[in-house]
Structures are given as structure tokens and as C-alpha cells.
């Protein structure tokens, strides 16, 4: 039986799910669903999905509506992951502003600034434990086995490597324009260098918001200047902006298409390929 | 390793702590088991030696050694008695000459000693006198001397023709 890879995004208004399988090192999109949430609650909705797609077992979950805290900190590279974890347990109130028990957190080494090459930069992502736990419990009771809890930005930075025209060893930028917010990412080899999320209103044009962001980024990371920028926005926003550009498509050598994903569904694809 | 916000590190740490305690308990259990086994093996060895000792004691008891030992013991006792006697004899010879010298000094007048026999650590004295009170003086003199523990009159006999009184005294010297 073919193994399915599932990315699950739970919003307040909808649930987005991407079901992929892998054949001859190529990803095949089996199904992409966007289900509007009913008034009966998340558990019922998830049960419905489970009933509809019986092959679902493990899933990578993303909870985009829950606020996430992302911080970078610098530590001695000789410290082991356990030691860093202990350090975070002790210093959580200082680093994250709340005691350790308040968060679900994880960390990863990230690209250091050249001036701090003797130290190792770590990126810490933290999400409030209580609200997350509630959602997780609902997902589990609906029969989903949650393999990992991921974030939108990491899913997108993972997906950049699979875009058409992607150039390895070059710094790529990605701008995701939603209806109310704008997300900017800079990635190198699928690893996140910089991220910025700003609220977005129609009073300002996308270019007005983007220009200072890119300028700021290039000034802070001159050695990782952007060579490519992918702009992800739905057609409605682009028409308001008056921009006419084609959305990036996925590399045909990696993806075997039977469905072409919408821009809004890209995050769930990025989630599904977690670990690859 | 990609970021995973599930509390997998917490679980990993709990598992590590559990593993640590499991190893600790296992080590304690192993140590106690080894100690018990060692103690038991020592106990068995001791029991084995005890059994061997008992067996040997039984064999020794069954053999003729004790009879011979008894004979040796008897011989040894005899020898030690003889040695003791020889010592006493040696001692008594020395005493005799001391007594003899002393007797010469304390002998009352008009007493004639006819026979002096020293045997079995006893002095047998035979003599004669004309006056019976002098026999009493002799006995008193012998008793008062520090050499004799007991002085016994053995016999007195009066010769009617010569009117001499013959007497015999036994004196046991102090050991």
C-alpha cells in the first residue's frame, strides 16, 4: 500500500489538507482539500475528513492562527542539544518572556552573521502550550496521529527548493501576500535566514511595503543578497495592485502533476514534505 | 533537524531519565544478585569444608589412633611419675643428710642410736636408753625441729636383765 504524506492546516474558518505520495523520487499530489469549518466544532469536521479519506494516519499539523514567537540567540557551538534545552528551561522567562511551561518550543541552528562566526546562532520557535494543546487533543481524538507540529514559514522555505527556476546556493526571497498580512522570507538551500510578518492594508501598495523590507534585509545580510524573489498572492490581490505576474510553479522533475495547487494551498504541500 | 513544536524533547528527556533509573535499578539488582550468589557460593564452600572436616573426624575416630594414643598417654604418665619419683628421691637424699646432721645436734644425752633407716621418705630410728623420759625428749626434739611433719612412736621394749629400754620411732619429714 502506498504511503501517504499529509499536511494539515487548521484555521479558524477552514481546514486545508494536502495528501501526497511518493513515486520514483517524485511527489504526486493525490488530493488537496479546503473544507470550511462548520459550527459543530473542529472535532466533528476532522471526523468528517477522516471518514472521507480513510487512508489518513499520520499528519504534519500547522496552526496558523495561533501566534508564534520566533527568536534567534547565540550560544557556544560546543553545547549539545540537551544542554541548550536545559539552558532554555532555565532562561525561558528572560528569552521568551514567559516561563518554560507556558510554551511548546523547539530550536535549530541557523545561519550565523559573519561577525559571529565563532558562535552558533540558534533559532527558537515557541507557541503557547495551552491553546496548542487544546487543538492537538482535538486532532488526536479525531483519529489523526500528529507526527510534527510545523510552522507556515518553515513549510514555505522547504517548498522554495521545489519551485521552477530555483537556483541552489543562491539566496531566494519569498513574499506571501494574504488578504490582511504579508509574509517575507529569505532562504538559502531551503534554510530560513530571515523572516518578517507585517499586517497589510489596502492603503499601502505591496511594492510600498516590500521595498523597505528588502532594503532592510540587504543591509543586514549583505553577504546573502537576494537573487530571486517569488511572489505568492492570489489573483484578487494582484488585480487590486495592478501587478501582472505569474505565480511560481513547482518543478516538473520533482512533482508529478495530476492536480495543480493554488497559492493558498502551497503551505499544506510544504507541510506534507516535512523531513524531505 | 527541522523544527517540530511537539514536545518531543520533553518526552526524550523523560525517556532518558526513565532509562537512567532503569539502568540504575538494574545495576543495583545485578550487584545484589552477584553479592547473593557470592555469599551463597561461600556458604556452600564452607558447608563443603565442614562436611569434609566431619568426614575426616569420623574416619579418624574410626581408625586405631585413639588406642595408640591412650597407650602413649599411659606410658607418658608412667614416665612422668617415674621422673617425679626420681626428683623426689634426689630431693630426699639431700634431705636425709640435712636431717642426719640435725639429728646429731639435737640428740639428747644417754640415748644410743642403734639403727637409722631412710626408706620411702621415712626415717626409721631404733635406739636404746636407760631413762624413758629421754625418749620423750627425743620425740619432742624431733617434733620441734623444722624438718619433720610427723613423729610416731612405733614401739618400746624394756630389757629386764640390762634394764635398757629399746625403742623405735618413725619420723616423716616435711616435703
| Domains, chain B, with CATH or none | 94-173 (3.30.1360.100)
A108 contacts in B (CB within 8 Å)?
A: 1-3
For residues A158 and A273, is the Cβ–Cβ distance under 8 A? Answer: yes
Interchain CB distance below 8 Å, B4 and A149 = yes
| Chain B residues whose beta carbon lies within 8 Å of the beta carbon of residue A149 | 4-6
Mutate to test the interface with B, among A87, A89, A104 (most CBs of B within 10 A): A104
pLDDT band at A266 (very low <50, low <70, confident <90, very high): confident
Q: How far apart are CA A206 and CA B3, in angstroms?
A: 30
Q: Is B6's CB within 8 Å of A127's CB?
A: no
Residues 6+ apart with CB under 8 A from B106: B141, B142, B145
Q: Please enumerate in sequence order all residues whose Cβ is within 8 A of that of B72, keeping only pairs 6 or more positions apart, or say none.
A: none
For residue B10, give the chain A residue with the closest CA.
Answer: A85
Contact A125 B3 (CB under 8 A): yes
Tell me the fold of A69-126: Dna Ligase; domain 1 (3.30.1490)
pTM greater than 0.80 (yes/no): no
pLDDT in the model for residue A102: 94
CB proximity under 8 Å: A 78-97 to B: 81-82, 85
Judged on CB neighbours under 10 Å (0-12, 13-18, 19+), A61 is: buried
Asked if the C-beta of B13 comes within 8 angstroms of chain A's C-beta atoms, the answer is yes
* CB within 8 Å: A106 and B5: yes
Return the higher-pLDDT residue of A193 and B1: A193
Q: State the burial class of residue B93 (Cβ atoms within 10 Å of its Cβ: 0-12, 13-18, 19+).
A: exposed
pLDDT at residue number A75: 86
- How far off is chain B from A107, nearest CA to CA, in Å? 6
* B5/A274 touch (CB, cutoff 8 Å), yes or no: no
**Distance between CA atoms of B157 and B164, rounded to whole angstroms?**
8
> How many Cβ pairs within 8 Å bridge chains A and B?
43
Contact flag A104-B6 (C-beta cutoff 8 Å): yes
pLDDT of residue A52: 84
Out of A7-16, A135-144, A161-170, pick the least confident. A161-170
Facing residue for B3 by CB, picked from A82, A108, A146:
A108
Distance of CA A19 to the CA centre of its chain: 17
How does DSSP assign B48-112, residue by residue?
Answer: HHHHHHHHHHHHHHHSSHHHHHHHHHHHHHHHHHHHHHHHHHHHHHHHHHHHHHHHHHHPPTTEE
CB contact under 8 A, A148 and B9: no
| A123, closest residue in chain B (CA to CA) | B3
Nearest-Cα distance to chain B for A106, in Å, is 5
Q: How many CA atoms lie within 13 A of A254 on its CB side?
A: 14
> Are B106 and B115 contacting, i.e. CB atoms less than 8 angstroms apart?
no
At residue A54, the pLDDT reads 78
**B5, B11, B17, best to mutate vs chain A, most A CBs in 10 Å:** B5
Would you state the pLDDT for residue A110?
A: 84
Band of residue A271 on the pLDDT scale cut at 50, 70, 90:
very high
Q: B-chain residues within 8 Å CB-CB of A146? A: 6
Q: Cβ of B34 under 8 Å from any chain A Cβ?
A: no
* Per-domain residue ranges of chain A: 69-126, 165-248
User: What are the grid coordinates assigned to B99, written together?
Assistant: 636431717
Q: Are the Cβ atoms of A123 and B5 closer than 8 angstroms?
A: no
Domain A165-248 is of which CATH architecture? 2-Layer Sandwich (3.30)
**pLDDT tens sequence across A197-241:** 888 776 777 777 788 888 888 888 888 888 888 888 766 666 555
| Gyration radius from chain B CA atoms | 46
**Each residue of A73-113: pLDDT tens digit?**
888 888 889 899 999 999 999 999 999 999 999 999 887 66
Decide if pLDDT at A7 tops 80: yes
DSSP H or E run through A237: helix A235-241
**pLDDT of the residue at A245:** 56
The mean pLDDT value of chain A amounts to 85
Are B5 and A275 in contact (CB < 8 Å)? Answer: no
Whether A148 sits inside 8 A of B7 (CB atoms) is no
Residue A127: which of B1, B5, B13 has the nearest Cβ?
B5
Residue numbers of A between 143 and 162 with CB closer than 8 Å to B: 146, 148-151, 154, 158
> Which of chain A's residues have a Cβ under 8 Å away from the Cβ of B4?
106, 148-150
Amino acid at each position: 500500500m502506498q504511503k501517504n504524506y499529509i499536511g494539515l492546516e487548521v484555521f479558524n474558518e477552514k481546514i486545508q489538507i494536502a495528501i501526497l505520495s511518493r513515486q520514483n523520487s517524485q511527489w504526486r499530489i493525490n488530493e488537496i482539500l479546503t473544507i470550511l469549518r462548520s459550527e459543530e466544532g473542529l472535532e466533528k469536521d476532522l471526523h468528517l475528513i477522516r471518514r472521507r479519506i480513510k487512508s489518513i494516519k499520520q499528519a504534519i499539523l500547522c496552526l496558523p492562527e495561533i501566534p508564534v514567537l520566533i527568536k534567534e540567540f547565540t550560544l557556544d557551538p560546543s553545547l549539545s542539544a540537551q544542554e541548550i534545552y536545559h539552558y532554555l528551561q532555565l532562561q525561558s522567562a528572560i528569552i521568551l518572556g514567559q516561563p518554560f511551561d507556558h510554551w511548546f518550543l523547539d530550536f535549530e541552528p541557523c545561519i550565523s552573521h559573519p561577525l559571529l562566526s565563532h558562535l552558533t546562532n540558534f533559532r527558537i520557535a515557541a507557541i503557547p502550550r495551552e491553546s496548542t494543546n487544546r487543538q492537538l487533543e482535538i486532532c488526536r481524538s479525531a483519529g489523526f496521529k500528529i507526527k510534527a507540529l510545523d510552522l507556515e514559514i518553515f513549510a514555505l522555505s522547504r517548498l522554495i527548493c521545489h519551485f521552477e527556476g530555483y537556483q541552489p546556493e543562491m539566496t531566494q526571497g519569498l513574499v506571501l501576500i494574504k488578504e490582511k498580512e504579508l509574509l517575507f522570507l529569505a532562504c538559502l538551500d531551503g534554510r530560513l535566514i530571515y523572516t518578517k510578518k507585517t499586517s497589510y492594508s489596502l492603503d499601502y501598495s505591496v511594492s510600498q511595503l516590500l521595498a523597505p523590507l528588502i532594503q532592510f534585509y540587504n543591509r543586514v545580510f549583505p553577504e546573502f543578497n537576494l537573487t530571486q524573489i517569488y511572489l505568492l498572492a492570489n489573483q484578487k490581490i494582484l488585480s487590486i495592485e495592478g501587478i501582472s505576474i505569474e505565480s511560481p510553479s513547482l518543478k516538473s522533475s520533482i512533482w508529478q502533476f495530476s492536480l495543480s495547487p493554488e497559492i493558498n494551498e502551497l503551505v499544506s504541500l510544504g507541510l506534507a514534505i516535512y523531513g524531505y | 533537524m527541522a523544527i517540530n513544536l511537539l514536545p518531543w524533547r520533553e518526552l526524550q528527556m523523560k525517556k532518558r531519565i526513565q532509562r537512567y533509573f532503569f539502568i540504575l535499578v538494574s545495576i543495583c539488582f545485578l550487584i545484589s544478585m552477584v553479592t547473593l550468589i557470592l555469599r551463597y557460593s561461600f556458604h556452600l564452600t564452607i558447608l563443603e569444608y565442614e562436611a569434609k572436616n566431619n568426614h575426616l573426624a569420623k574416619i579418624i575416630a574410626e581408625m586405631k589412633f585413639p588406642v595408640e594414643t591412650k597407650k602413649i598417654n599411659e606410658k607418658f604418665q608412667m614416665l612422668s611419675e617415674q621422673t617425679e619419683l626420681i626428683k623426689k628421691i634426689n630431693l630426699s637424699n639431700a634431705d636425709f643428710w640435712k636431717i642426719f646432721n640435725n639429728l646429731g645436734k639435737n640428740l639428747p644425752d644417754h640415748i644410743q642410736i642403734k639403727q637409722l633407716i631412710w626408706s620411702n621418705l621415712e626415717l626409721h630410728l631404733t635406739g636404746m636408753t636407760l631413762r624413758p623420759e629421754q625418749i620423750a625428749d627425743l620425740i619432742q626434739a624431733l617434733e620441734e625441729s623444722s624438718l619433720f611433719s610427723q613423729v610416731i612412736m612405733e614401739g618400746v621394749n624394756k630389757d629386764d636383765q640390762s634394764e635398757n629400754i629399746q625403742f623405735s620411732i618413725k619420723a616423716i619429714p616435711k616435703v
